[in-house]
Structure 1
Amino acid sequence: MSVLIVSPERDPENWVKALRNRHPGMNIYVYPEPHDQEEVEFVVSWNHPRGLFKNYPNVKVIASMGAGVDHILSDEALPEGVKVTKVIDDTLTEDMGDFVLSQVMNHIRGLHHYVKSQKRKEWDKFQYKRPQDTKVGIMGLGVLGNAVAEKLHKNFFKVYGWSRTRKDSDNITNYHGKDQLEEFLSNSEILVCLLPLTEDTENILNADLFDMLPEGAYVINVARGQHLVEHDLMEMIDNGHLSGASLDVFREEPLPDEHPFWEHDKINITPHIASVTKPESVVPQIAENYDRMMENEPLLNVVEKDKGY
């Protein structure tokens, strides 16, 4: 029985080292090195080639290297009986909270504005807002969304949350379902997207949604690039309805050189670094699921495929 690591966009060396430190006798292959596909029962993966797993007749578990699983579930050739797991990690959660807080603070204090003013050698003061006077809406109240909401609450922001189904989260005003989306958006001077990527949420950040935000609202996307209709965002910024956006995720990564986001004065770009998985932090839970699979015990953090998260 073998473990396969599939990570075309990531250096697998630290993952192999961390797994072998946890399980010295574990037989590990790194795709695409030669290996016996029938031996593989457990896969650790990030952005695998589409259709790859149909070649593994005995695979039982596919473990995402991160919190997101859309890169696995979007594969139409995914074996039907395989279980998919995600990572839930305190370090990832804390990092996401810190990142979103920094982006929100940068916006209300105008720090991005001053970076651009400095390049133009302009002594141009910005009328800032205080956290107590700022309403922030969080779309998606999973582990990361709740952590971000709590971080913002502790820093005195007025926090609102929206999810597909009802969630009772402490210290925030909760909304759920399509019927309550418009009221939630009307209270979101800053909108943070932390939704899972599903058929229902793809392209959800579009002109119709932006139109329900208050004039001058600001958008932060730290979920997936496929949530955003890019043309709609630029149009709503250019016509003045939105004041700008901070984007950490994109439909194509790295963002192509010719993409108009690079040159847009009111769009701030970071290269998908809001919350980065560290192998030494998450391998223990992946290794535990390996042990659980071997003992036919229930797995941790199993994804509900029909929901997409």
Structure 2
Amino acid sequence: MTNVLFAAISPKWKEYESPLRDAFAKAGLDDIDLRKDFAPEEVDYIVYAPNSEIQDFTPFTRCKAVLNLWAGVESVVGNDTLTQPLCRMVDHGLTRGMIEWVTGHALRHHLDIDYFLNHQDGTWEHRVPPLARERPVTILGLGELGTACAKALTDLEFPVTGWSRSPHDIEGITCLHGADGLETALSGAQILILLLPLTAETEDLLDAERLALLPHGAVLLNPGRGPLIVDEALIAALDSGQVAHATLDVFRAEPLPVEHPFWAHPGVTVCPHIASATRAITAAEVIAENIKRGEAGQPFLYLVDRERGY
């Protein structure tokens, strides 16, 4: 019998129990015992959300892998007690959700939809947006989600530049890396999209100096990680018009405190971390595949590189 511990906040058990059991059956994993309450020394795999009560992995001496339910691992990857393999969540539903959010908001700003929504006053103003091919987009982060979004925007004929810390080669996308590449990527971004993981190297990446590299009046979309941006620098850039608008889905503190200036700023759209939620059905399929691989002695999918932090 393979013992799988579900370690997430209580409401998630009702959401995930049936999809997980169905995914295990579909994968041919007939000897799975899925529970919320194993003794630590009996656990073979942990299906894990970083906000669960389990923060000390030392007692889980038999555990073969910790399978994260979230795409982000920054709040667990530095846990010194976690010596087992850690796998991040990459699943089709999560990817599709991010593509839809990014393309939807990119088109919203590209077509100036907010302007028309806010000017329903009888004025007939013939404002024609440029074609997508005339609106350069930059995506910071060319991992699974960044690459998928870059390809979707390219399909809409936006000229897309992607930047990452290491070299990439993606057909149809101008790929840059390193410090010089970042400056070039920012300087051409009429729409800037942040899809980087949060690491020591990416925290506070968008400070006042880098925001100043953007074309005047650029638009910023952040469905990645809140601490990628220095909040005070962004507000100053919005006040000066350097950044025309920021649509933000992630923040340093969540829920975003009611007193935070983002709520009241006319140049900010606050979204409640909905860009790419983990969907139980598709996430369960990824977890089942990784357990199947672990039981067969095959490499795990989406294994986290502890040194890189993702």
- TM-score normalised by L of structure 1: 0.90
Aligned residue for 2:248?
Answer: 247
Aligned residue for 1:52?
Answer: 56
The yes-or-no answer on 1:43 pairing with 2:46 is yes
Identity %: 33
Aligned residue for 2:5?
Answer: 4
Label 1:79 to 1:91 Cα distance change in 2 as closer, same or farther (>3 A): closer
Q: Post-superposition shift, 1:114?
A: 3.5
* Partner Cα separation in structure 2 for residue 183 and residue 288 of structure 1: 40
Aligned residue for 1:26?
Answer: 32
What is the 5 A alignment of 1:1-309?
A: 1-8=2-9, 11-21=12-22, 22-23=24-25, 25-30=31-36, 34-48=37-51, 49=53, 51-74=55-78, 76-80=79-83, 82-117=84-119, 123=123, 125=125, 128-309=129-310
Q: Post-superposition shift, 1:264?
A: 0.9
Q: Secondary structure at the match of 2:278?
A: coil
* Partner Cα separation in structure 1 for residue 292 and residue 4 of structure 2: 12
- TM-score normalised by L of structure 2: 0.90
Q: Post-superposition shift, 1:298?
A: 1.8
Q: Post-superposition shift, 1:10?
A: 5.5
* Partner Cα separation in structure 1 for residue 75 and residue 35 of structure 2: 20
Q: Post-superposition shift, 1:288?
A: 2.1
User: Which deviates more, 10-19 or 192-201?
Assistant: 10-19
1:146-188 residue CA offsets vs partner (Å, 9 max, x unmatched): 1111111111111111111110111111111112211111111
What is the aligned-residue RMSD (CA, Å)?
2.1
Unaligned runs of 5+ in 1: none
* Partner Cα separation in structure 1 for residue 295 and residue 101 of structure 2: 37
Select the structure with the greater relative contact order (CA < 8 A; seq sep ≥ 6): 2
* Partner Cα separation in structure 2 for residue 212 and residue 283 of structure 1: 42
Q: Post-superposition shift, 1:50?
A: 7.0
Label 1:308 to 1:124 Cα distance change in 2 as closer, same or farther (>3 A): farther
Q: Secondary structure at the match of 1:192?
A: strand
* Partner Cα separation in structure 1 for residue 112 and residue 222 of structure 2: 18
Q: Verify the 8 A CA contact 2:7 2:54 in the aligned structure 1.
A: no
Match of 1:216, as an amino acid? G
Unaligned runs of 5+ in 2: none
Q: Verify the 8 A CA contact 2:5 2:35 in the aligned structure 1.
A: yes
* Partner Cα separation in structure 2 for residue 285 and residue 218 of structure 1: 34
* Partner Cα separation in structure 1 for residue 188 and residue 230 of structure 2: 22
Match of 1:138, as an amino acid? I
Task: Give aligned pairs, total.
Answer: 302
Label 1:133 to 1:79 Cα distance change in 2 as closer, same or farther (>3 A): same
* Partner Cα separation in structure 1 for residue 18 and residue 81 of structure 2: 27
